[in-house]
Structures are given as structure tokens and as C-alpha cells.
Structure 1
Amino acid sequence: MVLNRLQSTQLPTASARTESDVALLRVATYNIHKGVRGIGPRKRLEIHNLGLGVEALDADVVFLQEVRLFHTREARKFDRSKFGWPEQGQAHFLAPEGYDVAYRTNAVTRHGEHGNALLSRWPIGDVGHFDVSDHRFEQRGLLHVPVQWGGMTVHAVVAHFGLIHASRVRQVQKLAEFLEANVPANEPLVVAGDFNDWAEKLDPPMWGIGLQRARSEGARVHCPTFPSLAPVFALDRFYLRGLRCRSTFVPRGTAWARMSDHLPLVAELEAA
């Protein structure tokens, strides 16, 4: 059972929180693939295992993509499975006890919908949503959530960019417009999610709007997260303003590879 193998996943040796970690904000970004894996008769429900995975990350703030509020066809299919389709939306189902939850829909389909979510150990403010769809074949959005941490407001933006590079560049400009209108320039900001930037071309446009990509101190390369079975591409990222990255890591192991086609990326941040 995957549920039992989570104990053997590879997490960093410093993953247990200590008193010295109070000044660090641990964040995680994770594309959960709508809580299912496989196709046809081999399709399986992973949302219950994902709940254990999210809790195991012990992150203060979790940025989630491809999250469902409902899907009538898959709910009927998996109601016959051992654990069943959750009655709650996936964001609330995945949230560890005591976490605040924010969710907004990006894409509406025939049988349901999906969007971005944010789970926060710390109190959150008013939730915002901004459509950054570039064409009618891809419905994309930004989820904006102010988080109260360490006596300051950290602005968290969950993003899931398009599959075409030109679309992603235009979405960076839409992101810039949104930030200028909604996020004070003197308050810290984390933009995180699945950027679908296979060719590693998105960093310069993001630098151009004042966002730096998070990387562990001294690291020469970024952490690959896709595909989860043998990760090669660093599609999942944090872009920062007013914060510094102390460390990043990607959990590894058969359980994580099974739960989604992406692995989660985790970072520990501090005030700049």
C-alpha cells in the first residue's frame, strides 16, 4: 500500500521543525493532477495518498495546481472504490487540520472543473483571482492570497502557466499588471506553481518584472520535478520578491512518484 510507504520517502534530514526554524517560512508547490493517475480501467484515485503526502511536507504554505472542487463522472466512478471520492472539494480535503484554505476555479469542463488552491498554517486575508488565459483552448488563472506570517503580510500567488512559450511570456505580463494593481511593492511576495517552462526560458521575463527564482544557497542547478518517476524538468518553481531562499528540496521515493506526474518542490524562505 502507498499509504504505508510514505514512511520511507526521502525527506531532508532537517525536515523536523525546531525552534531555530521560527524565522523560516516553509513553502511547497505541488501539481496534484486532479487527484487521479492512469487512464481507462487502470485509472486510480490518489487523493487520499496525496492528503498524507501534503501533511508529510509540514509546509507553512502549500501552493496547489490542478485541484478539483467537483467532477461528477469521476465521483461516480470512484464511489465504488475502497476509499471513495471525497465529499469535500479536494482543497479542503487535502488541508491538514487547522489550515486555512483558499480555492478558485480556472477551467470548467463538461463534467466538472479544476483550479488553484492555497493551504496555509497562518491566517489568510481576502482571496483574489485573475484570469490569465491566453487563448480559448487553455483556461488559466492566478490565485492571490495574503498570508500573515512573522508580523508581516506575505503575498502568495498560485500560478499554472500555459503550454506554449509565447503564451507564458504574455502571462508574465498579465502577472505584472496584476501585481502592480494588487500587491504593494514593499511587501514580500511568492509566486509559485507549475510554469510549464520546459526550455528554461522564463527566468529573464520574470526578472524583468522584479521576481527572482528561488534556489538553494550555492546550488548550481534547479530541482527537477517532472516527470515524477524520473524527473528531468524543473517545471515547478518559486519566484520571490522581498524574501531569500535558504534551501530547496524535492521529496523522492516510489510513493511520491505514484501520486502525481509531478513531484512537490519545497523551499525554506526568510525575510530579505
Structure 2
Amino acid sequence: MSTAGREIHILTYNIHKGYCTGKRRFVLDSMRQRIAETGADIVFLQEVHGLAQKSEKKMGRLSYPEQPHFEFLADQAWPHYAYGRNAIYRKGDHGNAILSMHPFVSWENIDVSLFPRSSRSILHGVIELGPAKTRLHTLCVHLGLLEQERREQLQALTWRIAEHVPEDEPMIIAGDFNDWRRRAERHFHDDLNLKELFVTLEGRHARTFPVWAPLLPVDRVYYRGLKPISCRKLASGHWRDLSDHAALFGVFRF
């Protein structure tokens, strides 16, 4: 975070469990390099592995890390992180993660699953920034594919904000909303005072899926209590060879 301008840089990215489109190649190491190059202070990740058991042969062939993938991605750049499982299976789990250059005061993973085969959660972390110890609420989300799921999960999200985020504390909500019909805002009550970064600065949601020809605006960055400065969609060059989602980068000022 820039201490002079009181700016904070964020990134949100659905990493597709470390695989490129079609799961043809395991590219987690390249993802780590590209994410680190952005210089983001806080990174919101979806579809990231916690535990993932692989045979020694497969681990060697794929350059598969032994530690949880969110720890591998955090590496030396982000000393603080939180992880919330939202899918658990026989050989592992995956979910949402928040990587941060600043310490967490607290974090909680909220289960918002409606169906056994469609596990979803909201990861809510409170981060302390700078000498002033400003509290920033960060919520990493990955909502369901079905309209019924998203409707109830958005209601759970609005309740979480109303009950657990004080109005005078800044907040960023980022992740994969799977909201290609652009209906999320209908579920956010007027008194929540939420705005979307790309809509504010560019007039419309960023189209992020699929990365090779982005058509659907499923990834979002909502905020309040902050001033948006800039935003970028990362979908070209090396980013095109990684996940099936584009990443979104944003800069805010307090």
C-alpha cells in the first residue's frame, strides 16, 4: 500500500484449480509469477486448492506443489493469508483464499451451499492497514451456477454485510459471482451503498469469461468507503494462457 497516497491495489482471480483452459496443462507456477508481477496488496482467489493429494509420479510431471496451493501462491510476497474450503472430496478440497501484505485481525468462512454437489462459501477477512491500523473488510465470494442458488447466496451476502460490517469501515467484495445476467445489484439493498469498480469507472461490468474471448461479466469488484482510482482486466498476453477466467485489478484510495 502506498503510504503517501493511501492507495491499495487489489486483484481478484478464479485460478481454475491451477490449470489452463480445458485442464490441458498445470500452470500454477506461471500463475504465481503473473499475480506477483501485479504488485497487488490484497489478492482474492477462487477455485484454489487447500489439500490436493496426487501420486508422486503426477506431482513430478505437473510440477505440483506439496503444500496447499494458496500457500504456494503467497510465497514471499504475501505473508498473511486466509483460506476457506467450499468443496471437500476424497482426495482434497478447494475454496476461496485471500492473500494480504497486511495482517488479518480476524477471518471467517461462511457456508452458503444449497446443494450437496455445489458447495459454495463466502470468506470474510478483516485486515489491519498501516500505522493507523485502519480496518478493511475483505469478502471473497464464489457463487453458484443456478439462479436459485445465486439469489439465496446474495441474500446471505447482504445479511453478512448488514450484520458484521460497520458502516464507517471500508469494504471490498471480490470474486466470481457467476452473474452473467447482471442481476446481483438487485439483491443489494440501497442502504448497503455498494458500487462496482468497473461500472463506476468504465460504465459497465468487465467481461471476463472465457478468457480467450471474454463474453460473460461474471467476475466483479464491489466496494464502499473507498475512492476508486483505476481498473484493468488482465486477459491478454501471458494471462490468456492461464485460467479460463480473466483476472481483475483495481486501485483504491482511502
TM-score normalised per structure 1: 0.85
Identify which range, 165-174 or 153-162, moves more after superposition: 165-174
The C-alpha deviation readout for 1:109-131, integer Å capped at 9, x for no partner, is: 23211010000111211221111
- The answer (yes or no) to whether the contact 1:216–1:246 under 8 Å persists in 2 is no
Cα–Cα, structure 1 residues 71 and 247, in superposed 2: closer, same or farther, change >3 Å? same
Cα–Cα, structure 1 residues 207 and 240, in superposed 2: closer, same or farther, change >3 Å? farther
Cα–Cα, structure 1 residues 172 and 238, in superposed 2: closer, same or farther, change >3 Å? same
- Alpha-carbon distance in structure 2 between the residues aligned to 1:172 and 1:209: 15
Residue 220 of structure 1 aligns to which amino acid in structure 2?
G
For residue 238 of structure 1, the aligned residue among 212, 215, 221 is 221
Query: Which residue of the partner structure matches residue 186 of structure 2?
Result: 204
The equivalences for 1:172-251 within 5 A come to 172-208=154-190, 210=192, 211-215=194-198, 218-251=201-234
Residue 103 of structure 2 aligns to which amino acid in structure 1?
P
- The answer (yes or no) to whether the contact 1:216–1:248 under 8 Å persists in 2 is no
Query: Which residue of the partner structure matches residue 114 of structure 1?
Result: 94
- Alpha-carbon distance in structure 2 between the residues aligned to 1:238 and 1:134: 24
Cα–Cα, structure 1 residues 105 and 18, in superposed 2: closer, same or farther, change >3 Å? closer
Query: Which residue of the partner structure matches residue 92 of structure 1?
Result: 71
Q: Identity of aligned pairs, percent?
A: 32
Cα–Cα, structure 1 residues 134 and 244, in superposed 2: closer, same or farther, change >3 Å? farther
Residues 1:69 and 2:50 are matched in the alignment: yes
Residues 1:48 and 2:32 are matched in the alignment: no
TM-score normalised per structure 2: 0.90
Cα–Cα, structure 1 residues 164 and 217, in superposed 2: closer, same or farther, change >3 Å? closer
Q: Which runs of 5+ in 2 are unaligned?
A: none
SS in 2 for 1:256: helix
- Alpha-carbon distance in structure 1 between the residues aligned to 2:68 and 2:161: 28
* More strand by percentage: 2
- The answer (yes or no) to whether the contact 1:45–1:78 under 8 Å persists in 2 is no
CA RMSD of aligned residues (A): 2.1
Cα shift at 1:176: 2.1
Cα shift at 1:34: 0.5
- Alpha-carbon distance in structure 1 between the residues aligned to 2:98 and 2:173: 12
For residue 105 of structure 1, the aligned residue among 85, 94, 98 is 85
SS in 2 for 1:79: helix
Number of aligned positions between the proteins: 250
Query: Which residue of the partner structure matches residue 155 of structure 1?
Result: 137
Q: Which runs of 5+ in 1 are unaligned?
A: 1-16
Cα shift at 1:236: 0.9
Cα–Cα, structure 1 residues 252 and 37, in superposed 2: closer, same or farther, change >3 Å? closer
